[in-house]
Every structure is written in C-alpha cells, then in structure tokens.
Amino acid sequence: MRQSVRALGLLVLLAAVLTAGAPSVIRVHRGDTLSGLAARNGTTVKALQKANHLDGTMIYEGQLLRIPGQNVAPAATRTVPLVYVVQPGDNLTRLGRTLHHTVPWLKAKNHLRSSTIVIGQRLVYGERAVTATPRVSTSVRGRAAYHRALLRKRTMPSRASVRALIRASAKRHGVPVDLALALSYQESGFQQRVVSPVDAIGVMQVLPSTARSLGRMHGRTYDILAVRDNVEAGVTLIADLLHATGDMQHALAGYYQGLGSVSNVGFLPQTRQYVRNITLLRKHFR
C-alpha cells in the first residue's frame, strides 16, 4: 500500500510530459489536395510531407494526416476572483438576485459582519479560470538545441523498427499496442529527432526530468536520446498512469497535462483535443 501511494505521488509530480500542444490529426475527404489542406491549416506542403512521411503529393480519401505544429507546453491555468464594485442604490438582497447568490453566501465570501455595503466597495462573487502559455527559459531552449544537434549526428532506425520497439514494450507493460502506437504518432510521428522547445525528446517526447523520476521509481536509468530507452520510458509512463488512474482518458491527460494539473483544474481544452486525436488514431493502428 505504501509503495502504491508513493508511486501515485511521484506520478503527480512527474507526469507532465510536455508535448506538441495537441497538434491536429485530420482525415482526408474527397476532393482534398495536399496544397489545399496546407493552406487551410496554416502550414506548407513540405511540412505536411515531412510530418506524414509522404514521398509525393498523392493523398487518398480516408487517410489520416498529422498537422505539424510547434511543440509547446500546455497552457498554465489559474483562477482569479470575479469582483463587483458596489454602485449607488445597491444592497445585498438586490445583488444576491443579480449575481445569483444568497445574502449569507455573499457575506461569508466577503467576510462581512453585517449587510451594510458602501459605494465603491469591491465584492467577490465567484471565480474564473485564466490561461497563459508559460515562457520557456533560455537555458531550457539551449538544452533543447544541444539535444537536437546531438540527434542530427546519429543514425536513426526506420519507422518500422520504431513501431516494432513500441509494440514489444507495450506488450511487456500490458499497454494496448494500438494506444502506444497512437500516442507515439501523436507525439512525434515516430521520429526520434523531434525535440520540443521545452526539451521533450524523441519518439515519446519525454522530458529529461521525467526520465530521471521514472528511473528512480523503477530502479533503472533511461537514456532518452537512444530510441529504445526513449520508447521504454514513454510506454512505462503511460502504463503507470493507466494503473494509477484506471482510465484511459485520464491517463492520456496525465501524460500530456500532468496528473497534478488535471486534479487541480480538470482537462484543459487542448488536453481534450489531445485525447480525441489519440482516440481517433488508435483505430488507424488496429
């Protein structure tokens, strides 16, 4: 019991594999062309070809295409109070009806000892969520650039070899193979040289800090610049998340957004899109 509680606590801390900002996955419809899809989705034909490993411009109806985008961290979310400034003629009874709260609730929320309010007084009557994309420090960008440079010098395995590694790792860890493949395709398109601005690395887009935490949890080390270890780290993480949450959608949300954030603020809009993308992709890999 103590071990499972410890594992869940670690997962809450480490399960923020910062990924591709939930890049879109679209299905080709009759009449679509690669140039038209590129124009509609704010990208280029060359970028679409690279993201989807296309040799030419031929696409077919029903094909799934990954829309490339910059890998960025999910937006940070926090709550701020909703404030009403008391106007002439206001009283708590009237404000209660207007703001859809009871007088006792307004008094308790604003620590009022009586029902007396004055013009210009600020009354809190609720909260709202605001999001802001966190800035990436220059040191993190520097490490990401360094890792990109290292990976450019290395020979990379074929996509077929990467998929075989993912299948084998998924079977070892009891993760549905189609889920592991869809997750990797969503993250990087099975490409080890993909490194995000926040230094999420490779096929499974694993942060170095995540790899270190996973290593401590499982009593081993992960060289996430190496494809085999990168796959193993990512599949181990989603396996742990599935075990901890008991739910595929929450496990995927934890992989993208972090379990701590999911627990505090729920699924962010981009997290919901991320989960939908992978759900769609799973059908492609069955």
Pairing of strands 76-85, 64-66: unpaired
Q: Which residues are catalytic?
A: 187
Instruction: Tell the burial category of 2 from Cβ atoms under 10 Å away from its Cβ (0-12, 13-18, 19+).
Output: exposed
CA 20 – CA 152 distance, rounded (Å): 20
CA 280 – CA 4 distance, rounded (Å): 31
Pairing of strands 76-85, 25-27: unpaired
Which of 25, 90, 21 lies closest to 62, judged by CA? 25
Q: Nearest 5°: phi and psi at 65?
A: -120, 135
